[in-house]
Structure 1
Amino acid sequence: MPADAAAPIRLARPSRDLGAAEEFWVSGLGLDVLYRHAADGTPGRSSLLMVGWRDAGWHLELVHEPTAPVEPRPTAEDLLVVYTGEPVPDSLLERLERHGGKRVAAHHPYWDTWGVTVQDPDGYLLVLSTRVWPNGPTG
């Protein structure tokens, strides 16, 4: 198989409002805008917002097709988990909430024990885990 542990990963999701999504992921969490494309109104052409940390091996692609939008349908188990390895600062949680996030109880109590769950403007869940990956000294 040509892919290995160092292969880049793109997580793609539909978004109702790319502006609100950018507020949350960039202004709230602190990710960078890696790429942006505005649809020109042609059917089948989507607007894209790609966010992530420039040196990370992954990024999040948020997609909105104005002529045929796809409604986000996140479930309680659709989680994006960021392992911080330390307590989540209250200032970060407050910033996420100011930029469209909503702190919620996790579906599985594990995540409430080992982190904080925040819902983004499209309803997807971000878990800021206090553990490290793989389960190291604080995990």
Structure 2
Amino acid sequence: MDMGKMRVARPTRSLAPVVRFYREGLGFELRGGFEDHAGFDGVMLGCPGLPYHLEFTVERGHEAPRAPSKEHLLVFYVPQRDEWKARVKRMVQAGFEPVRSHNPYWDVNGMTFEDPDGYRVVLYQGEWTR
């Protein structure tokens, strides 16, 4: 079954800080956006050549909740150790400090960062094997 491409969409409390986290920290690029589309503003971020992107939306007049738990994760597998180190360094240089993962598994070979809404991103140094 070919599912083609995937978009992960979620609301945010503050669009600009979330965009900064994913652009400056993770290196995602702006793929599109919209303003006042049926009361929503949004931004899509992704990386060229990859079959997914992230969409963050703000509903005018409503405040989105923070992440429901510390286990709401996006995990990026980075096979090459030098590339993984460079990605971690980029996050820190952009002003995002690592946090201890709720599940200690992710701290063994990874580094976890929390975005402005409390959602967590793991940069995992290793191959995707499943």
> Taking structure 1 as the reference length, what is the TM-score of the superposition?
0.81
What's 1:7 paired with?
4
What's 2:28 paired with?
31
Per-residue CA distance 1:44-73 (angstroms, 9 max, x = gap): 521111111121111111111122232232
Is 1:129 matched with 2:124?
A: yes
Separation (CA, whole Å) in 1 of partners of 2:103 and 2:119: 15
Greater helix percent: which structure?
2
What's 2:91 paired with?
96
- 1:21 alignment partner, SS class: helix
Is contact 1:49–1:63 with CA below 8 Å preserved after alignment?
A: yes
Per-residue CA distance 1:70-94 (angstroms, 9 max, x = gap): 22324122110000013332x5434
Give 1:7 deviation, angstroms. 2.2
Which of 65, 82, 102 does residue 71 from structure 1 map onto?
65
RMSD over aligned CA atoms reads 1.9
Is contact 1:13–1:72 with CA below 8 Å preserved after alignment?
A: no
Unpaired runs of at least 5, structure 2 = none
Give the % identical residues: 31
Is contact 1:23–1:100 with CA below 8 Å preserved after alignment?
A: no
- 1:71 alignment partner, SS class: coil
Is contact 1:100–1:120 with CA below 8 Å preserved after alignment?
A: no
Greater strand percent: which structure?
2
Per-residue CA distance 1:80-130 (angstroms, 9 max, x = gap): 0000013332x5434324545331111111100021101111111000010
Which of 35, 47, 54 does residue 60 from structure 1 map onto?
54
1:57 counterpart letter in structure 2: P
Q: Tell me: CA distance 1:67–1:98, structure 2 relative to 1, closer, same or farther (3 Å).
A: farther
> Taking structure 2 as the reference length, what is the TM-score of the superposition?
0.86
Q: Tell me: CA distance 1:26–1:38, structure 2 relative to 1, closer, same or farther (3 Å).
A: same
1:73 counterpart letter in structure 2: A
Deviating beyond 4 angstroms after TM superposition, the runs of 4 or more aligned structure 1 residues are none
